[in-house]
Chain A
Amino acid sequence: MRPFSYHRPSSPEDAVAQVAPMGPAGQGGAFLAGGTTIVDLMKLHVVAPPSLTDIGALGLDAIEDRGDGTLHVGARVTMAAAAEHPAFRDRAPVLSDALWKAASPQLRNVATLGGNVLQRTRCPYFRDNVSPCNKRDPGSGCAAMDGINRLLAVLGTSDQCIASYAGDWANALILFDATVETLTADGGRDIAFADLHVPPQDHPERETILGDDELITGYRLQIPEWARRSVYVKARDRESYAFALASAAVALDMDGDTVREARLGLGGVATVPWRAREAEGFLAGKTLTEDVATQAAQIAFQGAQGFGHNDFKIPLGQNTVVKALLDAAAVQLTEEAGQ
């Protein structure tokens, strides 16, 4: 690791004031939460912030039901705590399943939900700190396009970058029209979660709309009663502790066999947390058969582009969507689970 100065402020306001003068992300200071991404990347010299502002003393670690169906989730709630929380486990299993199916128990005990949505890609060329990579070193090129791109994205790519978004929980959170609460030295703002991440386009080094001194402090989300019928299906190289090759987050509002409303998120296949709204629209009002689910999956992957090694992700992703839709439709809801 390169040397850095370490700070541990005691309030969110102090934290953003402290990190503010440090300049652009990558060269400037960074916030430290669980550290499971940034310490890893600092050891690889992929990032080298001159200062770390540790937010470990700021609280922000509660999940609160604020009535009227609004759930408030602090940015420092750990993945492990959130995965076990009844507000997720019982009311929207997809939000719990996407957490316990991610990472390892040791990592989940430390990694926070604020940091989780900001975790960096696992593209091997980004991480090796040697190859051309427009995300790590803007303008240097992309070694992945013609390289070993088996793990990389087929949706939301550009001619600059095909790095896949590696996380799981964000692909479930995006189903619930969540709001991200942030703080800067100039005050706070709300960001629609679906607007937080930006696809690579011409600037793959820019991954979110967050400012350099902007701290995620928490999330607000609305969980509809019918989200008890939700699943997270994750296809990967080994059965546990692996990143998704393809994943699907599904929540269904059903009237018998008919879909009132469907929500569909995709992981492992896109450059950003991905919501498949056209497929959702197609499903509304349909009787959910395997044939209908297959058509929805095809719509979800319209425009998908493989780069050779990752061509298999298109059929794998479609099959994952079909399985998730049928699994969600088959969920047996009990009255007790809703209370």
Chain B
Amino acid sequence: MTQNAVMRLTLKSECLRGETDVAILYPVKREEKRNFGSITEVKLQKRKEKLQVLYLLHGNEGDSLSWITNTRLALFAKKYPNLMVVMPTIKEFQSFRVGEEEVPDYYQYLAGELPDYIERMFPISQKREDTLIAGVFMGGYLSYRVAMGNSEKYGCVGAVSSPLDIVRDMAAGRYTGSKFMYSSDELNHDLFWDIRAMVENNLEKGVVMPKTFQACGTEDIMYDINCHMKEFFSKRLPDHTYVEAFGSHNWYSADMFLEKLLNWLPLQDKEEK
């Protein structure tokens, strides 16, 4: 049977100029002997294959434990004995700009530094099809940015209730208080920001892009944005999967879509429960 170890990893990051934390679900496959219901002996079942890894990003105002505390992730994860879930803390979603500014660079952290360390220290597969990334709310947008900007690294990308069209989202005036964000005009067609521009650019260059998943509730404030992006993706990306259901911009919907996302991902050795 598979159970998960829950880790809270604290590590140093040069991109973020300080320490940061990451929650990890690590699958532990084991055999146990019981006596009247009590465990008397446990043995680890050695795995043959390296683990698949899912980088799972939270949304605005969350932290590394958001997925675990707000959804049934830990329960769902028991079905997948070969999946490690890595959940970094992301502060200041608006600050992940590329440039010389002295601000934490979450894009570089996610695209390079974090996977580099995780791949060195844990027994995970570095194959493209085993490296997955997804997120909820702003985390979904960031997942797409990281995956589309590093197509050779990620096999699949997913977003749940996310403002995938950041230009439209900015134009809707949801981040007017931010000191870090550019205006929507500046973002348009910007390869560092605009998912549409990134996809077009990849197509132009003939880059093989990850498989894409997009989910949104019909009552979500970002439903319109998602409808537009769905149209765009379905024209450009043959492997695009879109899911919608009755739901709003909250963790109840995220929890529902998480199950669909995990079913959609090419995860190995699913244990039927």
Asked if A and B bind, the verdict is: no
